[in-house]
Structures are given as structure tokens and as C-alpha cells.
Structure 1
Amino acid sequence: MNPDPRIPGRLTRRRFALALPLLGALAYLAPGGALASAPGGLVRESRVLMGTRVDIVASAQGADAHEAVRQAFAEMERLEALMSRYRADSDVGRIAAAAGRHAVPVAPEVMAVLRTARRLHRESGGAFDITVGALAGWRFEPGHEAVPTPAQIGRALRLVGMDGLVLDERAGTARLARPGMALDLGGVAKLPILHAGLRALARAGVHDALVNGGGDVLAAGSLQGRPWRVGVRDPAAPARLLGVLELQGGGVVASSGDYERGFVRAGRRLHHVLDPRTGWPTEGVHGVALRARTVDEVNGWGAALMVRGAAQAGAWHAQHPGVDALVADAGGARWLSQGMAAALKNIG
């Protein structure tokens, strides 16, 4: 969910993001893709949540936007505290501590994410699996990189398997069947948390807003009457934008890739998206960008597609025709759905 809090400096590092919001023009981009300023009539604030930088841009018209933004961040911080794997007092931490012993009561928001993860596991043919939390020997923070031994990976893989996650929705509890099992909700919790922030803004009267969390961008309404614009980087050449996607009246652009947290060891790129079948970082897919109207349509599928491989992109899209998709492989080839090819506009 977020980097290991024992590692210093985690709040200051800016990670590369495949998708990034554009406020009117590239002049609003600071080095690394951070939002440098916002046009008049907008309120902008950034904080570090879930191990990445989260930006909110909100309309200052018709509501106390500053207070609305404060409420949105408070709601996202509340949910992060429930779902972080690095907090012993989180629901996820308590589930791991009780693994193999007893069920743990969880908040409704956590149960909803766990239910989504179970569905994604089934629909992805096992490519998406939150029990990869047992593969705890991997470390990806700069200066603290670690690769577990093959023996350590083999032992941890015996604890990976969604059959070991037992949910009792009537009782509101979750249980991990075997001692040593653990959950990692990083691939499925961030979008719902960002969406909760967007809903908090709406409850406070702000209906034109954008929330960006490390390359996952959610929007509501418009940017002063114009569509929100999200730039999509070329995963093979991060300094270059492939084009711009527009979000009019709401929508989401979700991205995943091997560029977010990783390092090179012995000529191999090692990164935080782990293949639950091997215990190693995925290979073959460099980055994924998905655009849809709702979070549910894309949540978790970026990581799942990285596990499944670029060759499966067309078959997956045939089952999800409402999602615009871009999948870039490590060799530089890009697969775009027809909708993505049509939606991706030139910079201008």
C-alpha cells in the first residue's frame, strides 16, 4: 500500500507516473510531472499518501474549496490508515497478525476492497492476487533494495493463494488461513481511496475537481468549462508525451508500470509488481494505461495485465470493450485499443 515506513526519505521522493494531469498547457508541469501551479479560480494542494504524491485541484466557485480539499484529504488518510500493510493497527495489519488463528473484524470499506480483489483474482485467472504480501523479502526503495533468495521466494510462494483468504460478509470479518500469510492491497486500494476523496469534495459542494495519485487520475465535472486533460507518457521515453486524454464530465485514467518502484540488478529490471505464480517481478510489459468512466471498470487491471503479458491485451479488451487501453511491452512495441487510438490527442 505504501513503502516501508522504516525506510528514511520516503516522503520526499517523486516517482515517475505514466499519466499526469495537464492544467491548460505544459507550462503547468514542473520537472518530473508535478503540478507547478493552477489557473485562477482553482485551489490546489498536494500531500504524500499511500507512498506517492496525491494532488487535488478543485474549483473555488460556489463552495469553500479549501475546506472541501481538507475534508477530502482527511477521508483519504482515514482509509489509508485502515488498509496499509505497514501499520500494525490497520485492518490489513491485524489480519496478517491473526493469520492461521482467527478472523478479524474489518471496516466496510476494507471488506469492499477485499471483495473486489477476490473478483479480480477470479476474472484474471489468478494473475491478480493480494496474498503476494507474503513475498516480504523484496525491497524497492532507493538505497535499500533487496532481492530475496530463491529459497525465501519458494517458502513465501507456499503462502500465496487467494483460497487462503476467507471473507464472512455477514459477520464483517476476514481471515487468512495459514500463519505467515499477508495481504498487499496496493494494486486495488489506491483507486477506491482516491475516489473517496473525490466523493468527499462533492459532499462539500465541489463538483469540478481532479484527484491525481501517482499516475491514477480521477476527475469530476470540468476544468472551468473545458475537459480535464491527462497527458500519457511514452513508457519507453518518459520525457515524451504520446498524447493527451480528455475527461469530460468525469472519468478515470489508471496506469501501472515497471517504472514506479524498482531497480536494475544483473541487467534485469526488478520492480514492485510481482507475479503471484513465480514470486518475481513481472516481465514483458513496461506500462499500462486505461481510461474509463468508472473506477470499477479499471481497478486492479493494470497490475493484472502486467502479469498476463502484452499478448493478452487484445483478448482482455474484447471482454472489456468500454475501457480504452494502451499496453507497452519492454521491447518498445505498443498495443492500443481502437478507442484509445481515437481518444489520444496530439499535444496542443
Structure 2
Amino acid sequence: MLRHPTRRRLLLGGGLVMAAPLASQAMPAAAAGHESRVLMGTRIDLTVVDADPARRAAALAAAWRRMEADAARWSRFRGDGALARLAAAAGARALSVDPDTAELLRGARRCAEATDGCFDPTVGAYEDWHFGDGAEARVPAAARLAAQRRRVGFEHLEIERDAPRARLARSGMRLDLGGFAKLPVLAGGLQALQQAGVRRAMVNGGGDVLCLGQGRDPAWRIGVRDPAEPSRLRGVVALRSGVVASSGDYERFFIDAQGRRQHHILDPRSGWPTRGLHGVTLVAEQVETVNGLGAATMVGGVRRAQSWLAARPGVDALTVGDDGAWFAGRMAERLAAL
């Protein structure tokens, strides 16, 4: 019997995400606005600090509009979306996409190249896996995964240099941008808040937290969950502005008939969930620096992550796996006790 022991709590219980905002310093209740909705299969929390209630309300509305539109156009579950159209034309012609989608695909391909395919946006070809997305949870047959493996390969994702056009070169290919689009969706929401005049805000989406602060604003305090014991926090990161991005085997998973945890981060080389590492947390100033890197680290492991992080100065990292915890950059000193 397959079980989803924590799915509902992970979707609706914001305190159980890997990076959850704790009480911030000296935030007047009258100056703060909080709203939550479910997007991209996870709970999104917006917090805006602004003394003007009308500006808060307008900013929150603008942020939701932006995030909902981006989440819709980059979802692989929408039959009328760009990803579905590219899949339908796979092995044939290139299709026009909007400029933002073309840039997102270029970024996904660059990340795949930089990580030697440990991150790969074409893992959508492993279409038999389902993790609480409305279909029955099941373990695919090994023969099916082997057949689908021939349709996976970022090098067959083609994006034209001078025009917003893209193509999947092999028949049967499918994109899954779930591990790459979420941070840009959240960043779009934060940008909408800034454009509405907000100076201090936080966007929290299922383990990914983006913070905005100015000058002497108090830092946001972000609780970092312990992947080895997901019911507790490992420590707190203080961040005025930047991103805390997390990936882990505890976010979307089911327990199979043999009692094994089957989770949503798939190894592109095999189609099976990754093993060894249980979670990765990255801290950086810019989303682009870390986008896709958490999933790649779950696939490639600590040794490969060391070389990737060497090319990304300013990124701090924590991984927790079967062999214990590994810290990179300033993460050990960033992570304060509760």
C-alpha cells in the first residue's frame, strides 16, 4: 500500500517547510500584511511591511497576479501552456514562445550544462511518477523508465539565439520546470511588490524564501529545517535581502509497498529518485546564482557540488545526507542556534 504520510501538512502547514520565516525583529502589527495561497502545488506566503494599508493591499494584489500568471504559463500540467505545446511538437518544428519563457529555458539549459546534466529540465519524460499531483502514486516499471530515459537529455532542448523560439529535438520529450521555475515565479512576485513601492517584504514558497530589505531594516530570521529530522529546525539564518533556497527528499514523496521513500527529485540518468543526500540549503544574494543548483546537488552529491560552488562565490551551502552534514562558504557561521 502506498502512503503519503505528510503531504497535506507540507502543503498547508507553513511551519513545516524547510525554510520558514520566524518572528522578525520589531515588526509593528499594524504595518505588516500577510497573505497565503497555494500555487505550484505548495503554499506561498507573502509578508509586506508598509505603514500605508492601501499600498500594502495594492502591492499584495499585484504580486499575486504576477505569480499566478507566471505559474500558469510555466506549468507542465496545463494543456494550453507552452510546455504542453513544445511536448506535442517534440521531434518536429520549433515553436514561438514568449520572451520570458525563452529566457527561462535558456537559463535552465545553462544550469544543465554547468552541472553536467545533474540538473536536467527534460526529466518530464519520466511521466509515470506522480507525487500528490492528482494522480495515483505508484512506482513505475523499470522497463518503462529505461524506455523513457532515451527521451531525456538537455542537449536536445534547443532555444534560438536571436528569437523567442524553442524546440525539443526528439519525439516524446517533455519539459518539467518545477525545479527551476519556482524561484523565478517567487522573484516575479517580489519584483511586483517593489514596483508597487514596498521597501521590505518576504516571499516564502515551500522551502524557498526571498527577502527584501533596505538600509537599517531588521534582518529577516529564517528557520532552516533539518532534513535528517524534518520535524525540527536545525538553526536560523538572518538575511536582510537575498534568497534561501532548499531542496529535499521530504517535500513531495510517498512510501511504497516496500516501505521505501520515493520522492520527486529524479536522477535524470536513471529516472529513479536520488539517494544519499536528504536535503540542500543554499543562501545567496541573487536567485540566478542558485536556481537549479539544489536539485543538481541532490543528484550529483557533495563532491560535484564543491566544484560548482567554487564557480559561484558568495553562495553558502548546507547539505545533510547519510554521511552527515557538510557546510560550504559562510554557512556554518550563518546558521545560528534557535
TM-score normalised by L of structure 1: 0.88
What RMSD over aligned residues (CA atoms) do the two structures have, in Å? 2.3
1:184 CA drift (Å): 0.2
Q: For the residues of structure 1 that align with 2:129 and 2:270, how far apart are their CA atoms?
A: 13
1:316 CA drift (Å): 3.1
Q: For the residues of structure 1 that align with 2:247 and 2:30, how far apart are their CA atoms?
A: 32
Q: For the residues of structure 1 that align with 2:11 and 2:265, how far apart are their CA atoms?
A: 22
What amino acid is aligned across from residue 88 of structure 2 in structure 1? A
Structure 2 equivalent of residue 284 of structure 1: 276
Kindly indicate whether the alpha-carbon contact (under 8 Å) linking 2:11 and 2:41 is maintained by their aligned counterparts in 1: no
Q: For the residues of structure 2 that align with 1:267 and 1:236, how far apart are their CA atoms?
A: 17
Q: Which of 123, 132, 139 matches 2:130?
A: 139
1:141 CA drift (Å): 1.6
* Gap runs ≥5 in structure 2: 1-7
What amino acid is aligned across from residue 54 of structure 1 in structure 2? I
Q: Which of 233, 238, 251 matches 1:260?
A: 251
Paired residues in the alignment total 327
2:293 is equivalent to residue 316 of structure 1: no
Q: For the residues of structure 1 that align with 2:28 and 2:130, how far apart are their CA atoms?
A: 35
3-state SS of 2:261 partner:
strand
Q: What's the % identity of the aligned pairs?
A: 48
Q: For the residues of structure 1 that align with 2:327 and 2:10, how far apart are their CA atoms?
A: 34
Structure 1 equivalent of residue 30 of structure 2: 40
Higher relative contact order (CA 8 A, sep 6+): 2
Kindly indicate whether the alpha-carbon contact (under 8 Å) linking 1:310 and 1:329 is maintained by their aligned counterparts in 2: no
More moved, 291-300 vs 16-25 = 16-25
Structure 2 equivalent of residue 186 of structure 1: 178
Q: Residues 163-196 of structure 1: CA distance to partner in whole angstroms, max 9, x if unpaired?
A: 2211113221111112211000011110011001
TM-score normalised by L of structure 2: 0.91
Q: Residues 82-102 of structure 1: CA distance to partner in whole angstroms, max 9, x if unpaired?
A: 100000111111111111222
* Gap runs ≥5 in structure 1: 1-8, 26-36
Structure 2 equivalent of residue 175 of structure 1: 167
What amino acid is aligned across from residue 21 of structure 2 in structure 1? P
**Residue correspondence of structure 1 range 59-208 to structure 2 within 5 A:** 59-62=49-52, 64-141=55-132, 144-208=136-200
3-state SS of 1:309 partner:
helix
Structure 1 equivalent of residue 23 of structure 2: 23
After superposition, the Cα gap between the structure-2 partners of 1:216 and 1:223, relative to the gap in structure 1 and judged at 3 Å, is: farther
Q: For the residues of structure 1 that align with 2:94 and 2:193, how far apart are their CA atoms?
A: 34
Kindly indicate whether the alpha-carbon contact (under 8 Å) linking 1:160 and 1:276 is maintained by their aligned counterparts in 2: yes
What amino acid is aligned across from residue 35 of structure 2 in structure 1? E
Q: Which of 283, 288, 291 matches 1:296?
A: 288
After superposition, the Cα gap between the structure-2 partners of 1:193 and 1:123, relative to the gap in structure 1 and judged at 3 Å, is: same
Q: For the residues of structure 2 that align with 1:167 and 1:73, how far apart are their CA atoms?
A: 29
Kindly indicate whether the alpha-carbon contact (under 8 Å) linking 1:21 and 1:231 is maintained by their aligned counterparts in 2: yes
Q: For the residues of structure 2 that align with 1:202 and 1:270, how far apart are their CA atoms?
A: 39
Q: Residues 173-225 of structure 1: CA distance to partner in whole angstroms, max 9, x if unpaired?
A: 11111221100001111001100100000111112100001010001116993
Q: Residues 1-36 of structure 1: CA distance to partner in whole angstroms, max 9, x if unpaired?
A: xxxxxxxx89965584211111238xxxxxxxxxxx
Kindly indicate whether the alpha-carbon contact (under 8 Å) linking 1:140 and 1:271 is maintained by their aligned counterparts in 2: yes
Q: For the residues of structure 1 that align with 2:157 and 2:42, how far apart are their CA atoms?
A: 27
More moved, 38-47 vs 69-78 = 38-47
3-state SS of 1:242 partner:
strand
Kindly indicate whether the alpha-carbon contact (under 8 Å) linking 2:50 and 2:199 is maintained by their aligned counterparts in 1: no
**Residue correspondence of structure 1 range 48-67 to structure 2 within 5 A:** 48-62=38-52, 64-67=55-58
Kindly indicate whether the alpha-carbon contact (under 8 Å) linking 2:315 and 2:329 is maintained by their aligned counterparts in 1: no
3-state SS of 2:117 partner:
coil
